[in-house]
Structure 1
Amino acid sequence: MYKADRNAENYTFDNIKAAACIFVILIHCKFPGVAGDLFEALARFGVPMFFAISGYYLLKDDDSTGGIRKNMARKLKKTSIVTLKIWLIYTVYSFLYAITVNYGIKEWVNEKFNLFEFSRLLLFNSGKFIYDFTYAFDHLWYLFALIYVYLLVFTFAPILKKGAKPISILLLGLLFFGELLKIYYPIRPFGISVSVWYVIRNWLFVGVPFTLLGYWMHEDKAASLIKRPHTLGMLLVITGVFFTFFEYKKWGQTEVYFGSLLIVVGLLLFGDSDNEDAELKTEQQSILSKQLSFIGKNLSANIYFFHVMVISFLGWCVDRINPDFYGSLVFMTLRPIIVITITILISYCFYVVKLITTKNNNNLRK
């Protein structure tokens, strides 16, 4: 059951998280032209990959019902605290931004905090409760969806082992069935068009199945059952990239491509097969790989959390310095690079502050 290495450091997954968080930025801050569209399509594997890695590390050594629930309670507490902190930071930022552009306080409050927006948050992990005109992306849906996933695992802990695989396969099937409905038969469940992004991209059709996918691939030792997991993983990733580009060309942008699923499965095979001999693999890492591992392990969460704020604030600054520059090809080409660089630097500053604070607290305890 992988109990011996369930909590082992996995540098391949750290590398993957670093790449995934940078790709996610390219969804919200695109390069111009066809290249930007292709990068955005390819980047759709990013958030499903985060869910899958969360599933890979879903449990500790104790996989009894009590052990699962104890671990989920710990994860729920930690994730809920992080979610509240990040949401409060963005809410304060939104309020300050609104004031600077002479947006009425009453209008701002009424637009964000009402029953309709709260219902969208509860049902779909979206709504202006977690985004608005000041930062136009609801990337915080990931945290709220993760809370739902942990709650469901806590509730249905007795059937997790037997139910994970069939439930993930069923929900992934419904996810791609929903994507087909968006293209060929856009129904309106609950009066909301299936074409609205959050009807498909939410805790139920993305969060749960990809988390369970990572969980059962780990539990079933998927990589060890395959003769050459690295080769198959590489083939799946390459096939997934081509599938993604084909799907984009035929159907345009969507929330999750079938190619995204192939990429996630391929990368899970890579990470799962690299879980052994981690110490040896660390010594063999290149300088670039070590830097990516550091980013993935220590910075990727904050890169994901704060890149949208960086995008928004950069736009706010440019609007006040030279609004015409914002639409220029030069700026739009440089903008993703600027956002990625600033976000990594900010995340590194958070890491250093946390490191110093932890060290000082340890010294005080002594």
Structure 2
Amino acid sequence: MGKVRYRLMDTIKGLACMAVVLLHFGFPDPLGLIIRPLCSFAVPYFFFVSGFFCTDSSNRLIRSNTWRKIRHILRLVVIAALVYAVFCVIWNQMLDPDWNIVEYTASLLTKDKIAKFFLTNDPFVYSHLWFLGALLYCYLTVLLFDKKKISPWIIIVAVLLWIGFIAFGELKYILPIPSSIPLFDTGNRAYLFNCYLFRALPFFLFGMLAKLNVEKIKKIFSKIPLVYFYVVIISGIGIALWERTHIGVVQFYMGTYLVLGSLCVLSVTRPQMGNPLLEFIGQKLSLYVYIFHIMIGRFIDLAANKIRVPGENGTRILIKTGVYRYSRPFLILAGCFLVTFIIYKAVEVYKRRKIYKLYN
């Protein structure tokens, strides 16, 4: 059998990276209150896809591929850390000429922040990079599995960890359980639902299980008309919006699980569906967008803060106008795609030159 090309999976990854940008640079309220719950599926879906391609159909862990992924992520961690370190210096110097790098570094290297770096993968600056640390932990965890066969008990582990994520996340207001642990004598706490065991590993394991049972999943769901999946997705969106209104802000909503589950099943059972543009974004640009979108968004905001536009009472700073606040997500998305496309092309040129030198 030829290798299956999961085009829909890449298409949804393209949507997911856009959703991440909208989570961090979204529309102002009340529109933002509606959009943000719809974007919560994004990061768990990335973990699902990573787990899906961690195994083969013969119930074996692709260990060589896993080690390659670990090395790739470590390179990305180093590159992202260096890029954002330089960005922090430039950014803080622009905002405050009297800024002191020694004092700033000392304020970051505290006991509680070091503990969070290892416990919940929170970087010292720009917390969105926790994704890379959590993904690295996931790959290292699955290397502990048996070398010959993947144990059937991982479904039990995945479900239990998923229940823990729900309990420590959305149900923390209801259940009489502690949702955080104290960090030394600092008064700060680490939230348990931020640990990779709960917000990353269960979705990664679900991806592995989907790959191991791909034929069973296709047999069950491939005959279900697409309209039923769309109904479930729309229902999940409605439930998530209701939860946002009545429960408040949490990392993940129960309704979003319906959206996430439907997208996961669709991407496995209808692999040839997809959109060419979103597929390219998901396959080639999504990881770059995730890593660099905060930096790109900050620079766009800084540029908007320097522009003055005419108004009823004289001139106003562009960033404070309603026009900018509602167009801002689209501008930042466009900037992310432009910058990451340039990065992608530069990496491709570097790879081609490296291969050329190797064989000549």
Contact 2:232 2:262 in 1 (8 A): yes
Q: Single out whichever of 301-310 and 252-261 deviates more from structure 2.
A: 252-261
1:298 aligned partner, one-letter code = K
1:191 is aligned to 2:182: yes
> In the alignment, is the contact (CA less than 8 A) between 2:58 and 2:212 conserved in 1?
no
Does the 8 Å contact 1:68/1:154 carry over to 2?
Answer: no
Q: CA deviation at 1:190?
A: 2.1
Q: What is the 5 A alignment of 1:1-366?
A: 4=1, 8-60=4-56, 63-64=59-60, 68-102=62-96, 103-127=99-123, 129-131=124-126, 138-157=127-146, 160-184=150-174, 187=178, 189-191=180-182, 199-221=192-214, 222-226=217-221, 227-228=223-224, 230-275=226-271, 278=272, 289-321=275-307, 324-364=317-357, 365-366=359-360
Contact 2:27–2:329 (CA<8 Å) still a contact in 1?
yes
Contact 2:16 2:42 in 1 (8 A): yes
Distance across 2 between alignment mates of 1:225 and 1:188: 37
Supply the distance in 2 between the matched residues of 1:61 and 1:183 (Cα, whole angstroms): 41
Structure 2 letter corresponding to 1:316: L
Q: TM-score, normalised by structure 2?
A: 0.86
CA–CA distance in structure 2, aligned partners of residues 188 and 178 of structure 1: 5
Show structure 1 runs of 5+ residues with no match. 132-137
Answer with 167-176 or 106-115: which moved more: 106-115
Deviations 1:144-195 (A, max 9, x none): 0001101110123467431221111111111111124432358463227xx9
Q: CA deviation at 1:305?
A: 1.1
DSSP 3-state at the match of 2:209: helix
CA distance in 1, matches of 2:157, 2:13: 25
Compare the two structures and name the one with the higher helix fraction.
Answer: 1
**31-40 or 318-327, larger mean C-alpha shift:** 318-327
- The residue aligned with 2:313 is none
Q: After the TM superposition, which of the residue ranges 333-342 and 118-127 deviates more from structure 2? A: 118-127
Read off the aligned partner of 1:357 and give its amino acid letter: Y
* Counterpart amino acid of residue 183 in structure 1: Y
Counterpart of 1:155 in 2: which secondary structure?
A: coil
Question: Is this contact kept in 1: 2:121–2:133, CA < 8 A?
Answer: yes
Secondary structure, aligned partner of 1:94: helix
Shift of 1:210: 0.7
> Judging changes above 3 Å, is the alpha-carbon distance between structure 1 residues 262 and 188 closer, same or farther for their aligned structure 2 residues?
closer
Equivalent position SS for 1:239 = helix
Cα 1:126–1:235 change in 2 (3 A) is same
* Aligned amino acid, residue 224 of structure 1: K
CA offset at residue 232 of structure 1? 4.7
Cα deviation for residue 196 of structure 1 reads 7.5
SS at structure 1 position matched to 2:55: coil
Farther off after superposition, 113-122 or 234-243: 234-243
Report the Cα distance in structure 2 between the residues aligned to 1:197 and 1:217, rounded to whole angstroms: 31
Shift of 1:268: 1.2
CA distance, structure 2, for counterparts of residue 120 and residue 343 of structure 1: 28
Length, aligned pairs only: 341
Query: 1:180/1:62 Cα in 2 relative to 1: closer, same or farther (>3 Å)?
Result: closer
Q: Deviations over 1:80-125 (max 9, x none)?
A: 1112211221111112212222221122111222332111010011
Q: Distance in 2 between matches of 1:188 and 1:267?
A: 29
Supply the distance in 2 between the matched residues of 1:311 and 1:239 (Cα, whole angstroms).
Answer: 32
Q: TM-score, normalization: structure 1?
A: 0.85
The Cα RMSD (Å) is 2.5
SS of equivalent to 2:153: helix
CA distance in 2, matches of 1:76, 1:190: 29
Q: 1:201·1:255 contact (CA, 8 Å) conserved in 2?
A: no
Rounded to whole Å, the distance in 1 between the matches of 2:24 and 2:10 is 22
Quick one: distance in 2 between partners of 1:334 and 1:196?
37
The residue type equivalent to 1:95 in the other structure is V
Structure 2 stretches of 5 or more lacking a match? 309-315
| Distance in 2 between residues matched to 1:234 and 1:197, nearest whole Å | 37
Residue 68 (structure 1) shift: 4.0
- 1:145 maps to amino acid: A
Q: Is the 8 A contact 2:180 2:190 kept in 1?
A: no
